[in-house]
Amino acid sequence: MKSLNELTFTEARRLLKSGDVSSVDVTKACLKQIASLNGALNVFLEVYEDEALEAADRSDARRLDGKTLGPLDGLPIALKDNILYQGRRCTSGSKILESYIAPCDATVTRKLKEGGAVILGKTNMDEFAMGSSTEYSAYGATKHPRDPERVPGGSSGGSAAAVASSMCLAALGSDTGGSIRQPAAFCGVVGLKPTYGRVSRSGLVAMASSLDQIGPLTKNVEDAATLLELLQGVDSADQTTAIEEDFTAIEREDLKGVKIGLPRQAWGNGISDGVREDTEQAIKDLESLGATITEIDLPFAEESLAVYYVLMPCEVSANLSRFDGMRYGLRMQNLPLFETYAASRAHGLGTEVKRRILLGTFALSRGYYDAYYVQAKKVQTLIKRAYESAFQEIDIIVTPTAPTTAFKIGEKTNDPLEMYLEDIFTVGANVAGLPAVSLPCGNHEGLPVGLQFIGNWFREDKLLSVAGAYEKFVAMRPRI
């Protein structure tokens, strides 16, 4: 029998409705798991124990009084530490924001509260979301729940590890180049990046504003859909949110009539044997469900990584210029103006953040702007057109989520280019603004392997229905 902290949303709601357990019971089970594992894994940076129990108690009172309940009423959830929670620290994994207290809630935080969710605390992350391993946090690396010598992925590694180790029922992360999907793949959970503009970014500490998107990490596809239904929508505080028809989850039992494309560019060299074996089996499973599998050509897919690593640092350079030691965050004292800027940033920002600021500043500088930034924007348009053309012929694109399983801590930190290649299969969806979801498709030597489904713009309904059908098929397969 599952422990209360291991429940999905559906299972927890059923028990809460029957009165067999209370929200306080479920919340205490999660808090107990955090207390047991957090010291070893460094998943949570802050735990709001008293607030969480009070919120759970209020949920139980609403249920007892017969009041209208929110879709997540009484369910414990965690937040990545770049999402604002009013009155609490928001460090974004950086020393420069160590003392920063959020003056308001992010839009997604407000929606969680309105939906009755119990917010447990903030999870660890790569500093300012720059990394693929959660080793670049100023507060120490997060460790993989199955093997503490390995990374959980990044930059939402804390959120992925929290869900995988059942410290919470679900968590929110942010995805700029794969930062929800890659750690979801490494940790064996579901990670969804919605279409750019589907979910408000207001109250998210910006890394690259044209690429960032908030999304859920959950124990199954159904829970990801539930969270997306709550979090979506136009927000006057974020002018990039799109006026589109709301997402509504649909279910399907098979994949008859679904056309799935396999990009030739995503199945070449660089994939580890274990990942290749499990993803190839997943393709056979999709065929068994009735899907039509077609190999497709996706022009400029191989350029996506290069485009991303020009555009993203340029936006990082602009966005992080606000952290100057003047208005908030770390400030070195008793120095003249420009020395205050330099010293505050030198002491407050980590190596990887400085590297990306320098790369972006260089690419935006006079004499290089046209050669790098403008050229990358042109290729970005070609990438979007390539996806648009592909989705005229197919419904869903499938690739591995990451080329390898979780690697060892310290294995790639000395080689930035090798670390950047972890994003090879995920950045395309960010560059084009498409929705994509990663879910487990196997295990290699005890470590999870992730399969990525990419959908057409604002077609999360079709995307998650296909992913959900595959998930159910795998769950029913006899275990050897």
Interstrand relation of 292-296 and 44-47 (parallel, antiparallel or unpaired): unpaired
In contact, 435 and 194? CB cutoff 8 Å: yes
Pair 283, 266: CB distance under 8 Å:
no
Residue of 59, 155, 344, 465 with catalytic role:
155
80 catalytic? Reply is yes
The catalytic residue among 179, 200, 317, 344 is 179
**Pairing of β 292-296 and β 259-263:** parallel
Q: Are 108 and 241 in contact (CB under 8 A)?
A: no
**Which residue shows structure tokens 């393709």?**
283
The torsion angle over the Cα atoms of residues 105, 223, 281 and 276, rounded to 10 degrees, is 10
Confirm if 153 and 133 have CB atoms less than 8 A apart: yes
Q: State the first-to-last Cα distance of the chain, in angstroms, to the nearest integer.
A: 21
SS3 label, residue 138 = coil
Q: Does 272 participate in catalysis according to the annotation?
A: no
- Contact 21/15 with Cβ under 8 angstroms? yes
3-state DSSP call for residue 225?
helix
Cα→Cα distances 467→173, 286, 441, 471, 474, Å: 19, 10, 11, 6, 11
Write down the catalytic residue from 23, 59, 80, 156. 80
Whether 116 and 69 have beta carbons less than 8 Å apart is answered as: yes
Q: Return the amino acid letter for 63.
A: R
How far apart CA 35 and CA 167 sit, in angstroms, is 9
Instruction: Using alpha carbons, select from 104, 116, 124, 108 the residue that is nearest to residue 60.
Output: 116
Give the span between the Cα atoms of 389 and 375, in whole angstroms.
Answer: 21
Query: Which residues belong to the active site?
Result: 80, 155, 179
